[in-house]
Amino acid sequence: MNTKKNLYRDAEHPFAQYVRILGKGKTGSRSLSYDEAYQAFTMILKGEVLDVQLGAFLMLLRVKEESVDELSGFVQATRDQLNFEALDVDLDWSSYAGKRKHYPWFLLAALTLAHHGYNIVMHGASGHTLNRIYTEQVLEFLGYPICQNQQDVKQQLAQQHFAYLPLDMISPVLSDLISLRNVMGLRSPVHTLARLINPFNAKATLQAIFHPAYRASHQRTAFQLGYQNSAVIKGEGGEFERNPDAKTLICGIRSGELYEHELPKLTPERSPIEDELNLETFKAVWLGQQTHEYGEIAVTETIGIALYTMNVCDSYENAMLQAKALWLDRFKK
């Protein structure tokens, strides 16, 4: 990205064509094709785009809402720029939203699965939205290291079946783009595509969205990218976490087939939000020193969705039963 003076007074910048496609007005504009999206995002990742073009491009996409072809092209361009080798990972778990009203119960779901031998890679970004608590700081509080490279990921998977890799270690450019949220005042398509990159080619992927309209586009994008097992939900706070206070529609892929499944509301009325997110309380629940009715329902239900997504169980009913057993036995060897 650069802000150099205008060197293109007499010749058009190569990226201008993509801004023009998106911005030609109500009748003249259209979505990018897969190939156009791929080429445009490759230019962004290589730093071949001016800042003013980048801002225009991202906000035009935001207003229009990105198509499945655009998202697929952006994600594939990103994956093709990464230098990671495929690892033996059972579940790729994206974590980009942070939490504000409830504890990050999804994290205890992921760690429980890891304690039972499932290889989990989580990736995310911190601090791009004010007044939220992010996965990275919670993991550090619980004593889990933050990986800095692929070798760290390999080592953590071997030692404890769980690894967290920040987005800026996966793609510094994507991390910079996400941090523009506080400059633009709006999220951009980068928040969506980052959830889908699956850097180590895990066998199954989990993505959460905040706005229900994005659920189907995430599902169809994962399908177009060839992902065989995937689940997308409107998670609590935008993280992949089952909200017991509401019905949860899962838009998934199982063994290469698209499906939808709705889980029922589990609480009679809305649970109270936390006055503060005290991580000592959160840790005590993890260690079995305290109980938390809402939290433990959220944990076990989230584990159940993950088990079904990984093809461990043949039904959601069995997955939820197994999830409760895994949570109760999380520290048994």
Q: Are 182 and 317 members of one domain?
A: yes
- Does residue 86 lie in a domain region? no
pLDDT tens track for 218-277: 999 999 999 999 999 999 999 999 999 999 999 999 999 999 999 999 998 899 999 899
Q: How many domains does the chain have?
A: 2
Q: Are 178 and 317 members of one domain?
A: yes
| pLDDT < 50 regions, the chain | none
Structural domain boundaries, residue 303? 91-328
- Does residue 6 lie in a domain region? no
CATH number at residue 107: 3.40.1030.10
pLDDT recorded at residue 3: 55
- Does residue 5 lie in a domain region? no
Q: Are 207 and 142 members of one domain?
A: yes
pLDDT recorded at residue 6: 64
Q: Please say which residue of 58, 81, 104 terminates a domain.
A: 81
Q: Are 244 and 268 members of one domain?
A: yes
Q: Are 165 and 281 members of one domain?
A: yes
pLDDT recorded at residue 146: 97
pLDDT recorded at residue 292: 97
- Does residue 10 lie in a domain region? no
- Does residue 240 lie in a domain region? yes
pLDDT tens track for 306-333: 999 999 999 999 999 999 999 999 987 5
| All residues at 6 or more sequence positions from 298 whose CB lies less than 8 Å from its CB, including other chains | 102, 105, 106, 109, 236, 241, 242, 243, 244
CATH number at residue 48: 1.20.970.10
